[in-house]
Amino acid sequence: MTTTRRTFLAQAGMAAAGIMLAPQLASAKSLNGIGLQLYSLRDELPKDVKGVIAKVAKAGYKEVETFGYSRQNGFWGLSAKEFAALLKANGLKSPSGHYGLDEYFGTGSMDEFNSYIEAAKALGQTYIVVPSLNHDLIKTAADFRSIAEKMNKAARICKAHGLKLGYHNHNFEWKETEGTTFYDTILNHTDPKLVAMEMDIYWVVRAGKDPVEIFKKHPGRFAMVHIKDMDKANHELNTEIGSGAIDYKGILAKAKLAGIKHYIVEQENFTNIDPFVSIAKSAKYLKTKLYL
């Protein structure tokens, strides 16, 4: 088959157009990995859980991360199965949930833990994420090691149910104690194959640390990241992604190194903006400005 000059130029033009569209295509492909931590809407959810979930989907999210589940109240009055059906009806998935495991880490009781496993499986989640810890459990370096060992045990329990354990940070994890920190301890003494880290980038920056340096030191450990921006004037406040002081373009350029699979928007406070407008603005920035 002979390629004429006209055909060659047409093919070249289509190829160039493909290259120009690549970032947009990559961005569109990544939509399934963009989620919202529902804690962002903790004031709205108890009033109208079904309406809120519909608005989350409308804002452009494909995933949600849950919080606040209890055997008594489920998810805002819905059982785990009912909540799973609600998510499915709105085209949403939930790869992870925050479940407080202080009871397990403190006493070894499996009562709450078992209920969380049941809920996570009902929602089709992959990760049971520890959102924080009672500070009384981690006062000394020996406590740090003890919790790391218990995390490995909890992770093995999760694995037996087809789940994985995750850990979400704030900034207290970098308080130096006896020559080490809690964060360094769990990174160094938990099994990378069993315990996934969910880096809250805002809190890492608040702690005065560099997320990229942590990615480099522990490649592949960060299956999830929390993305919330820092108000430029008041670092204790959040703002919409792309409007604040954190260089998300530079940080998320290292996503492959970090091992990130899920990008989870969280905003703990809103200033002079409707929360649903805010989360839509953050979703749009992620989809159009950050080619994840």
Does residue 246 lie in a domain region? yes
- What is the 3-class SS of 142-207, one letter each residue? HHHHHHHHHHHHHHHHHHHCCCEEEEECCCHHHCCECCECHHHHHHHHCCCCCEEEEEEHHHHHHC
Does residue 139 lie in a domain region? yes
What is the pLDDT at residue 32?
Answer: 59
Ranges under pLDDT 50 in the chain: 1-30
What is the pLDDT at residue 58?
Answer: 97
What is the pLDDT at residue 126?
Answer: 98
Could you tell me what percent of the chain has a pLDDT over 70? 88
Chain segment 9-39, per-residue pLDDT in tens: 444 444 444 434 334 333 334 455 899 999 9
Task: Give the number of domains in the chain.
Answer: 1
Enclosing domain of residue 101: 35-288
The structure's pTM equals 0.89
Does residue 9 lie in a domain region? no
Does residue 29 lie in a domain region? no
Chain segment 45-93, per-residue pLDDT in tens: 999 999 999 999 999 999 999 999 999 999 999 999 999 999 999 999 9
What is the pLDDT at residue 232?
Answer: 97
Angle among Cα 222, 226, 232 to the nearest 5 degrees reads 130
For residue 101, what is the domain's CATH number? 3.20.20.150
- State the Cα–Cα distance between residues 153 and 148, nearest whole angstrom: 9
Does residue 7 lie in a domain region? no
